[in-house]
Amino acid sequence: MSKEHLVVERARKAFQTGKSKPLEFRVNQLKNLRRFINESRKDIADACKKDLNKSGNCTELFETLGIDGEINIAVKRLSEWAAPRPVEKSLLTISDEVFLQPEPLGVVLIIGAWNYPWAVTLQPLVGAIAAGNAAVVKPSEVSSHSAKLMEKLLPLYLDEELYPVVCGGVSETQELLRQRFDHVFYTGNSTVGKLVMEAAARHLTPVTLELGGKSPCYIDKNVDLRVACRRITWGKFVNCGQTCIAPDYILCEPSIQNRLVEEIQKCITEFYPDNPKTFEDYGRVINQHHFQRLMSLLEGSTVAIGGESDESLCYIAPTVLKDVRGDSKLMQEEIFGPLLPIVTISGVEEAIRFINEREKPLALYVFSQDRKLIMRMIAETSSGALVANDCLVHFTVSALPFGGVGNSGMGRYHGQHSFDQLSHLRACLIKKLNMEAANAMRYPPHTDKKLAWARIFFLTQVNIDRLRRMAMLAMFTSLAAFIVQRILRQR
Amino acid sequence: MANQSEVIDRLRTTFRSGVTIPEEFRLNQLQKLLSLVEENEQLILDALHKDLHKPKFESVMSEIQITLNDLYFAIDNLRTWMQPEYNIGKNLATKMDECFIRREPLGVILIIGAWNYPLHLILLPLVAAIAAGNCAVLKPSEICQATEKVLAELIPKYLSQDCYAVVCGGAEDTKSLLKNKFDHIFYTGSQAVARSILLAAAPHLTPVTLELGGKSPCFIYGHIDIQKAARRLCWSKFFNTGQSCVAPDYVLCTVETRDALLPALKETLLSFYGPDPGASADMGRIVTPRHWKRLADMLGKSQGTVVIGGESREEDRYFAPTVLVDVPESDSLMQEEIFGPILPILTIESLEEGIEYINRQEKPLALYVFSDESSVVNTVLNQTSSGGFCGNDGIVHMALPGLPFGGVGASGMGSYHGRWGFETFSHRRSCMKRSWLLEKVNVLRYPPYSEYSLGWLRWATTFKKGSWGSCTVM
């Protein structure tokens, strides 16, 4: 029996004891997780530096602050989320209890990614713990320092049996996926996403897939380019472009392309003085494999900014390419790197067509001061999320569900969405054995008369509203008639 | 049969044109579906009787009325459901922005029906698909040929043929249908087929809703009015001849309760169907000879003792309401979902024993408890899991459109009915319109990063601990 099988068995047994169900336990574990983050800030920052050349401040900003936020909301609102949720009743259930009972699913598998190794692995864990589940955490082996640190330290803070960390590569992940889970939460690319879904299918396990895609960024020609470019440059080159919701490519009219390039250059100079290569806050490409992949994408396109690289450091300068064609190499796959193509189109009409010809992206960005244009983009395209006039920030609003659609994924999380995604909302109806006379009409032997009554009584809430409205109308009409009559009598 | 890919392409082209999006269009199609059902009630009833020998009462309540109810509900609430959700808590840095969640259609939905409620298992998902602004391909069960024929005729007659299509055929046709890409697949049926559907959906990354089944346990425990419990139990068990995914599959009770229950069951069955249920118009039939044989085999191999019923007739697929006692856990009747009018009674010595037994099995689609003691009901509720739960009655929880109808674990994934169906077939798109103002605040987030700016951002985080919004500030 494999190590992975044993770990999952142990987690399941731990779950079956019921210890993860009480709210106090869950809150306790979440608080321990928070303590872990607080006490390990330096270690986490070191690991991120080694993995991705993330600066300490970067790690704070993009990894740990987010996890902190999720934990704080979960701790504060858990009792509200976990409480029974009442729903509408019908005429016959007026005296019954009708509600949704949130319940844990069981053992959840969380497969993390390497680009934000802490955020995308631990934020789902917050949801899993809050919902009362056990969770097997499989951090990405690609961000190896972070994975090792998680494996070493997490068991010191969290219940080891309920929330084990399993490290390893492809074969260990495959072995994990052979086990039975009650939910699999995967962050990564669509190719592996399909394999995860297939593996889960064998056990009829539901999945949440946080994938990616090419997130378009449309820039209206009448926009304040200076501010727009600051936000886009920031959004693109954070983490060296290795963000699932980074603006992948720009769509704009040819008339503003040159100004765009100028403004972006200004931002790069301001953000990474004097040279991105030596500047602390500019990241690195994760490994050689991705470095080579990115360099090969440059083939056939015109560099307008940057283009320098250093394979020994996995360094690629912030790079912008102009006049990129729709069929170029850069436009065939998600870039996931510091290369920003500009594709020119004749206007918003063509932009919408261009976007709709491709798979639904995880995020769609629109820069415009024209509200109508923004609403049109929203109405005529589809994407996981849409942000007008900025990039990435929707990730921080936990009330907004974070997830994809179509090729960019299925399911959602953040805040209460994490809790709901990793719970079963059980439909409950608790009746009493009284009002049996009313039930008589549903029992055989059936007669047309009983049927007629049953049809009326099994009406839903909606029909009750209709009846209520009709009754109100009848009441007002008769009242009006009465008043009119009295007036006439007085004459 | 028209080429499947052509049909799907046509629907996809229509969807892309945007015609299914406006509220008026959706309402219009829902009204037409309403007319379809209202104007063809007798036709539908006849088809259902032909396929399943369904008593008129059952067909009306469980096929026609439930569909009408869901349609009224959708028509009356569509506007509300379609509204973007604006009540989104924000954090300090995003206070000036507009955040909302839109419900958007997915595209082309595939709805695969089942044979036990051949009408509503196709039409209820269709109501949700239309309400959510999608196009849909309907694949009714080929086992109920009369109903399949009625659907194939009436749907194109009433609804837009460019948006909704009916595809008929058997297992091979379903397999080839599944090779196409859909934006969501909705399947009602068995676990075995569900696996192959998930495997077909994975390469296209298509989300799936599975309405499966399982063995739905029924506790009868503690202080209870055994007569009333027996009536409700019999009604839920033998409705549609036991061929309901949410029928109470087996009973768990103490020996004393069982001894009180048996005469109550006998009396109830007599009052429902008379001395010879096979002659009662209110008793249905098993859907096919193959399923009749399955039940006969299961019963034949059982180690339990038949105390009520047991008769059956192959010629007209009749199976008497049958109750067995002394059924062990290893019995043939306890290995798979019965899906027929056979009710095993398993005796337990304590509630804990019963709960432990249930928790060793797969999570069922429904779980029932009959008891006057709320502590019993709550104990079972809190110590088990199931798709749905009903105390002191059977099946009826699925008729409330306010409650989501769906399974968990082996009994399924996802849910529908009422607004839940609308949500199933919608994408919740997060939208954020950032203000051009507050660029000065944004400066805090741009590189070069510094302790200073980080300090301000963390202050914003701590300050916002009391709000609903996230605590991170970018």
Q: Could you give the ipTM of this predicted complex?
A: 0.92
Size of interface A-B (CB pairs under 8 A): 337
State the residue range of the domain holding A467. 443-490
B interface test, pick of A381, A383, A446 with most B CB neighbours within 10 Å: A446
CATH of the domain at A68: 3.40.605.10
> Per-residue pLDDT tens for A15-24?
999 999 999 9
pLDDT at A140: 97
A428–B381 C-beta distance less than 8 A: yes
Q: Is there a domain that residue A405 lies in?
A: no
Q: At CB < 8 A and 24+ separation, what contacts does B194-198 make?
A: B194/A204, B194/B412, B195/A201, B195/A202, B195/A204, B197/B112, B198/A197, B198/A198, B198/A200, B198/A201, B198/A204
Give helix then strand counts, H and E, for chain B. Answer: 17, 17
Q: Are residues A466 and B472, on separate chains, in Cβ contact within 8 Å? A: no
> Does pLDDT of A95 surpass 90?
no
CA distance A104 to A88: 24
Query: B49 to chain A: which residues are within 8 Å by CB?
Result: none
Domain membership flag for residue A435: no
- Output the pLDDT for position A306: 95
Please, what sign has the CA dihedral across residues A304, A308, A311, A315? negative
Residue B406: list chain A partners with CB under 8 A.
Answer: 427
Q: Is the peptide bond before B448 cis (omega within 30 degrees of 0)?
A: yes
Structural tokens at position A245: 């919701």
Domain count, chain A: 3
> A115 and A22 in one domain?
yes
Mutate to test the interface with A, among B403, B416, B425, B453 (most CBs of A within 10 A): B403
A252 and A271 co-located in one domain = yes
Q: Answer positive or negative: Cα dihedral of A241, A246, A249, A252.
A: negative
Interface contact flag, A106 B403, Cβ < 8 Å:
no
Going by C-alpha positions, the residue among A70, A337, A116, A299 that lies closest to residue A214 is A337
Q: Name the CA radius of gyration of chain B, rounded.
A: 26
Which one, of B213, B214, B210, lies nearest residue B361 by Cα?
B214
- Alpha-carbon span A329 to A300, nearest angstrom: 8
Whether the CB of A310 is below 8 Å from some CB of chain B: the reply is no
Q: Is residue A438 part of a domain?
A: no
3-state secondary structure string across B454-465: HHHHHHHHHHHH
A200, B198: Cβ pair inside 8 Å? yes
Which H or E run contains A146? helix A144-157
Residue A467 confidence class, pLDDT cut points 50, 70, 90: low
A406: in domain:
no
Is A372 found in the same domain as A244? Answer: yes
Give the pLDDT confidence score for residue B435 in this predicted structure: 79
Flag whether pLDDT at A410 surpasses 90.
yes
Say how far residue B185 (Cα) sits from the centre of its chain: 14
Report yes or no on A128 lying in a domain: yes
Q: Dump pLDDT digits (tens) for A361-407.
A: 999 999 999 999 999 999 999 999 999 999 999 998 889 999 999 99
State how far the Cα of A58 lies from the Cα of A53, in Å rounded to an integer: 10
Tell whether A341 and A207 lie within a shared domain.
Answer: no
B133 closest CA partner among A211, A382, A353: A382
Question: 3-state DSSP call for residue A144?
Answer: helix
A399, B470: Cβ pair inside 8 Å?
Answer: yes
Tokens of A437: 């006379």
| Interface check B279 vs A, CB under 8 A | no
Q: How many other C-beta atoms are found inside a 10 Å radius of the C-beta of residue B328? A: 12
A407 touches chain B (CB under 8 A): yes
Range list of β-strands (E), A374-483: 385-388, 409-410, 423-430
Shortest CA distance from B427: residue in chain A: A405
pLDDT band with cut points at 50, 70 and 90 for residue A280: confident
Token code pair at residue A60: 């704070």
- Taking the CA of residue B450 and the nearest CA in chain A, the distance in Å comes to 7
**What is the chain B residue with the closest CA to A65?**
B472
Query: pLDDT, tens digit, for every residue of A63-83?
Result: 999 999 999 999 999 999 999
Residues in chain A closer than 8 A to B461 (CB atoms): 65, 68-69
Tokens 């509300």 found at: B80
To the nearest whole percent, how much of chain A has pLDDT over 90? 80
Quote the Cα angle for A18-B407-B290, to 5°: 125
Same domain, A196 and A271: no
B170 and B142 Cβ atoms separated by less than 8 Å: yes
Q: Do A85 and A155 belong together in one domain?
A: yes
Helix (H, G, I), strand (E, B) or coil at A319: strand
* Cβ under 8 Å to B: A residues 321-350: none
Cβ pair A61:B392 closer than 8 A: no
Confidence of residue A472 (pLDDT cuts 50, 70, 90): confident
Residue B408, burial from CB neighbour count under 10 angstroms (0-12, 13-18, 19+) = buried
Same domain, A17 and A149: yes
Residues A140 and A227 in one domain: no
Choice among A58, A217, A229, A244 that is catalytic = A244
Whether B372 contacts chain A with CB within 8 A: yes
Q: Which residues of B are catalytic?
A: 211, 245
**How far is it, in rounded angstroms, from Cα B358 to Cα B252?**
10
Chain B residues close to A279, C-beta within 8 Å: 447-448
H runs (alpha helix) in A298-370: 348-356
Task: Please tell me if residue B65 touches chain A, with a CB cutoff of 8 Å.
Answer: yes
- How much is the pTM? 0.93
Chain B residues 421-460 with CB within 8 Å of chain A: 427-436, 439, 442, 445-451, 454, 457-458
DSSP B343-391: EEEEE-SSHHHHHHHHHHSPPPSEEEEE-S-HHHHHHHHHH---SEEEE
**How large is the average pLDDT for residues A133-153?**
97
The per-residue DSSP string of B182-201 comes to -SEEEEES-HHHHHHHHHHH
pLDDT at residue B2, as a whole number: 61
Q: Which residues of chain B have pLDDT under 50?
A: 1, 462-474
Q: Do both A242 and A358 map to the same domain?
A: yes
Residue A287 within any structural domain of the chain: yes
Q: Are residues A38 and A141 in the same domain?
A: yes
The whole-number pLDDT of residue A60 equals 84
Same domain, A91 and A163: yes
The closest of A109, A122, A112 to A40, measured between CA atoms, is: A122
The token pair that represents B225 in the structure block: 């009015």
Q: How far apart are CA B127 and CA B71, in angstroms?
A: 7
Q: Do B432 and A209 touch (CB under 8 A)?
A: no
State the average pLDDT for chain A: 93
B303: closest CA of chain A, how far (Å): 31
In sequence order, which ranges of A40-130 are alpha helices (DSSP H)?
41-52, 56-59, 65-82, 119-130
* Helical pair A144-157 and A23-39, crossing angle rounded to 10 deg: 130
B187 — phi, psi (to 5°)? Answer: -125, 135
Cis before B118 (ω within 30): no
Q: Summarize pLDDT for A182-241 with one digit per residue, the tens.
A: 999 999 999 999 999 999 999 999 999 999 999 999 999 999 999 999 999 999 999 999
Asked, for residue A432, whether it belongs to a domain, the answer is no
Q: Is A25 domain-assigned?
A: yes
Nearest-CA distance A491 → chain B (Å): 44
| Distance in angstroms (rounded) separating the CA atoms of residues A185 and A410 | 10
Question: Which CATH number belongs to the domain containing residue A342 in this structure?
Answer: 3.40.309.10
CB A87 within 8 A of CB A113: no
Residues A191 and A290 in one domain: no
Kindly state whether B96 is in contact with chain A, defined as any CB-CB distance less than 8 angstroms: no
Which has the closest alpha carbon to B430: A220, A333, A397?
A397
Tell me if B61 and A455 make a contact (CB, 8 A cut-off).
yes
Say if residues A330 and A298 touch (Cβ distance below 8 Å): yes
B88 touches chain A (CB under 8 A): yes
Residue B231, burial from CB neighbour count under 10 angstroms (0-12, 13-18, 19+): buried
DSSP-derived secondary structure for B311-337 = -EETTTTEE--EEEES--TTSGGGSS-
Provide the pLDDT for residue B293.
Answer: 97
Across the interface, which of B183, B195, B432 has its CB nearest the CB of A202? B195
Please tell me the distance in Å from B254's CA to the nearest CA on chain A: 20
Chain A hits for B232, CB-CB cut-off 8 Å, are 433, 439
What's at B376, amino acid-wise?
Answer: V
Q: What pLDDT is attached to residue B459? A: 59
* pLDDT value at A461 more than 50: no
